[in-house]
Amino acid sequence: MTHTRPPGWAVHALIFAVGFIAIGGEGTSDEQETFSMSPAVACRAIEGYEDFELLPDAALTCDEKLLVYYCPTGFQSEPVGDKFRAHFVQDARIRRRGERTVLRSKKKLLDFEVKSDFPPVLVYLRNSISLKGLKPGQYELDIILHDKVGGGAPANQVLTFRVVAAAPAPVSPTSDGSGAR
């Protein structure tokens, strides 16, 4: 389990998003925590709650997908029959680093609802985002997360990432012995 947090690196063409609940439990505090999220990280792999492998330098080619991991905190749940429900919706935008112009955006990139026997406590969310069409350079992914049960202001953060040029294809020998691509 590797999860030292590097500088964040943003994501691109929005393809797939999933949320998971790891553990449910009874909340004991009367104080209500402000809705927010843990720092998002770019990952090589995500196996479960706090079980992921960081992507070094958050650098990918435009042919790869950016895996993003983060955990919502301070969210609300509500009773629904004999279960408890939490519901999250995530919007996302991609921009060149330091610029305001949005290159891509996706409302409801993630729409995740969890039901459990106890109020959900440890929940993680993940995105898998295609980078097709992005030129090499530095980018920022704006993550806007809404607590649909608790309402209120969304939680926001920026994940920075880098698109790098793909390695050149290896030279393969031809029938005349010369190399060709």
pLDDT in tens, 129-178: 999 999 999 999 999 999 999 999 999 999 999 999 987 777 776 666 66
| 97 part of a folded domain | yes
Distance from C-alpha of 42 to C-alpha of 158, rounded to nearest angstrom: 12
Count: domains in the chain:
1
> Residue 156's beta-bridge partner residues?
144
pLDDT in tens, 29-88: 446 789 999 999 999 999 999 999 999 999 999 999 999 999 999 999 999 999 999 999
Distance from C-alpha of 164 to C-alpha of 161, rounded to nearest angstrom: 10
What is the four-CA torsion angle of 3, 45, 109, 143, rounded to 10 degrees?
20
| 5 part of a folded domain | no
CATH of the domain at 121: 2.60.40.2550
Domain that holds residue 123: 14-180
Q: Which residue in 109, 94, 93, 103 sits closest to 146, CA to CA?
A: 109
